Structure 1
Amino acid sequence: MPEVISSEQVKFFDEQGYLPPVQVLAPEEVAKYAASLAQCRSDFPEHAKKLKTKAHLLCPWIDEIARHSRILDLYADILGDDILCYSMAMRIKPSDGKVQAGWHQDTAYGGIEPIMIIGALALSECTVKHGCLQVIPGSHKLGTLPHVESDDPTSILARGQFISAEFDKSSAVDLVLKPGEIGLFNAATIHGSGVNTSGEDRVILLVELMPTCVKQRKHRESAMLVRGTDTHGNYDAETGARTLFGEAELAHWSDKVFSRAKNVFADSKLPVSESYGGGTRTDAPAAATAAAK
């Protein structure tokens, strides 16, 4: 039996491809993690963009969230007890009325099968005015729709990607979140977000977890075991951060994120972004030799 959510909620997620908000962090935990983020942004501005990909390899406090028992209990209700962390990805949207995310599916640039669950964990208020995430219920059953990339400077996405095919947007649901709440969605679910006009930053941490049985992409990648055992060995092991932006942590992050970039930017005409290690590797794909965005 599920521990955090009901059997009916598990069925809802399976059918609709998303789950309405669940409280997973206490107010004092939100305050602690928000303070840790503020320290990172103040003391290490040169590494701020790196937090958009596999931030658990750079910050011990983010590694702590990846292993949080209530969060893992929630995911286990859907995925089972053997869980890999694929990425912990900070998404900070300024209140500039510009930054947005076009409608997209994360499966478009990575064939993780059978499932990866993305959780939007709020470390701030996340309302419609803040540019909260929106999802299209049931769209995970459509298969992966065609996407195109862009160099749109307002896009928060790695390749400025968006769906180029027509689809029904009339059922879109706003994932409004209070601090400490998490909203889950299938990586194949169509999602996006509008601009932030709230007057304050929108701060969410994407918690990307998957069962250990997931199939590997074309280029071998890495993930971190956070619960249970991994008898499949489809992903190289990762080590969570022990020192904040330590020398070993930065080297480990660079190595693991570069492996991911080879998949995400495999057919891209755009340079590999800084959040994927762009501009730091001499053995990068051709696109990565351009100046990082």
Structure 2
Amino acid sequence: MERHLSDADMQQYQDNGFVAGLTAFSEEDAAELRKQVETLEQTHATGADGFDLGQFFRVNGHLVIPLLSDVAKTPAIMDQVAAILGPDLLVWSVELFIKEPGTQSVVSWHQDITYWGMGETDEELTAWIALSDVSVEAGCMRFIPGSHKNKIVPHEDTFSEDNLLSRGQEIAGIDESQAQHGPLKPGQMSFHHGRTFHASSPNNSDDRRIGLAIRYVTPGVHQSAQGRDYAMLVRGKDSENGWIHVAGPSRLFDPQDLALYREVLTHQSTTLAAGAEGSVDMYQAEGAS
């Protein structure tokens, strides 16, 4: 049964900082998207321009992979995002999160927006779309209701090998008894605020856990750390002129798109690594949400 954003869902998002079980695609369309992702893994595992495919899946793949750019422009997704953020939407990032069966790595409690350089904004959200059965057993996300009402709280950089976040960052003192799971069937999605405390567990299922995260922002969001950041205008207009607009890829791994990818990576790496005492990678091999 399809479930699109209702007034009650919008209220839950405002009150709790997340809402799950929304419909992005039919199960059939989700299966087709999964097939296309796995075909890319089979045919382009080595990636391009010195980066393997995992790099593009986990960082700004929408700049060089048309499939990811196209998903971010899906009307059924944007309609629901616009109900919360308004009519003018940009896509800051599109990322694939894949955990193999039996994966024991964890993602610690964190706030997404901590190292994005956007400040304390409320004008962003992540749409997280399941392309497989993202059950509790498979390690679906867990959320702390209402935690988005906090400001950005201190995170400790652990750089732990078992932590899939770029800095192994974690929030201490979380009361796990307050956590709520957000399981998703293929084609379903959740929305969460960038300040919402969330984490995910190991994949103890017998299937891959495949999710796709789209980071939407409004023109009112400004990159505060390194000047103007890069984003793809997907609906409405950017009257603020606070972003460097990217058009999306012309074809898979086009040389001009790959050059832009390197430019954006350099810009965003500086922001992500700000204040870190260790070396910060832009991605880990498996999903961080």
TM-score using structure 2 length: 0.89
Q: CA deviation at 1:115?
A: 2.7
5+ residue gaps, structure 1: 277-293
Quote the RMSD (CA, aligned, Å). Answer: 1.7
CA distance in 2, matches of 1:65, 1:97: 27
Which letter maps to 1:199? Answer: D
User: Is contact 1:21–1:184 with CA below 8 Å preserved after alignment?
Assistant: no
Paired amino acid for 1:43: T
| Residue 280 of structure 1: aligned partner | none
Aligned-pair CA distance for 1:5: 2.0
* Alpha-carbon contact 1:49-1:274 (below 8 Å) kept: no
Equivalent residue for 2:140? Answer: 132
Give distance in 1, aligned partners of 2:92 and 2:278.
23
What SS does structure 2 have at the residue aligned with 1:45?
Answer: coil
Distance in structure 2 (CA, Å) of the matches to 1:38 and 1:230: 35
Distance 1:79 1:33 in 2: 26
State the Cα deviation string for residues 151-196 of structure 1 (Å, max 9, x = none).
22222211111113x2333221111000000011101000000001
Residue equivalent to 1:224: 232
Q: How many residues align?
A: 273
Q: What corresponds to 2:287 in structure 1?
A: none
Contact 1:217/1:263, CA 8 A, preserved across alignment: no
Deviates more, 1:38-47 or 1:181-190: 38-47
1:120 to 112, 115, 128: 128
The offset of 1:110, in angstroms, is 2.5
SS at match of 1:137: coil
Kindly report structure 1 stretches of 4+ aligned residues shifted beyond 6 Å.
none
Q: In the alignment, is the contact (CA less than 8 A) between 1:107 and 1:187 conserved in 2?
A: yes
| 8 Å Cα contact 2:122/2:193 also seen in 1 | no
In structure 1, what is the equivalent of residue 191 of structure 2? 184
Question: 2:79 is matched with which residue?
Answer: 73
Q: Hey, what's the Cα distance between the residues in 2 that align with 1:172 and 1:109? A: 23
Shift of 1:77: 0.6
Letter in 1 for 2:54: K
Which residue in the other structure is 2:49 paired with? none
- CA 1:274–1:17 in 2, change beyond 3 Å: closer, same or farther? closer
Q: 1:234 aligns with which of 218, 242, 245?
A: 242
Tell me the equivalent position of 1:248.
Answer: 256
Shift of residue 274, structure 1, vs aligned partner: 5.4
Contact 1:115-1:187 at 8 Å conserved across structures: no
> Where in structure 2 are the equivalents of 1:1-293 lying within 5 Å?
4-46=4-46, 47-50=52-55, 51-112=57-118, 113-164=121-172, 166-220=173-227, 221-273=229-281, 275=283
Shift of 1:270: 2.9
The residue type paired with residue 233 of structure 1 is N
Distance 2:280 2:245 in 1: 23
Aligned-residue identity in percent = 27
Matches of 2:164 and 2:154 in 1, distance apart?
A: 19
CA separation in 2, counterparts of 1:258 and 1:275? 14
Q: 1:88 Cα deviation (Å)?
A: 0.5
Deviations 1:173-230 (A, max 9, x none): 1110000000111010000000011122100001110111112221031111110000
- CA shift in 2, pair 1:48/1:154, >3 Å: farther
- The range that moved more, 245-254 or 71-80, is 245-254
Higher relative contact order (CA 8 A, sep 6+): 2
Superposed CA deviations along residues 64-102 of structure 1, whole A, max 9, x for unmatched, are 101000000010010000001011111111223422210
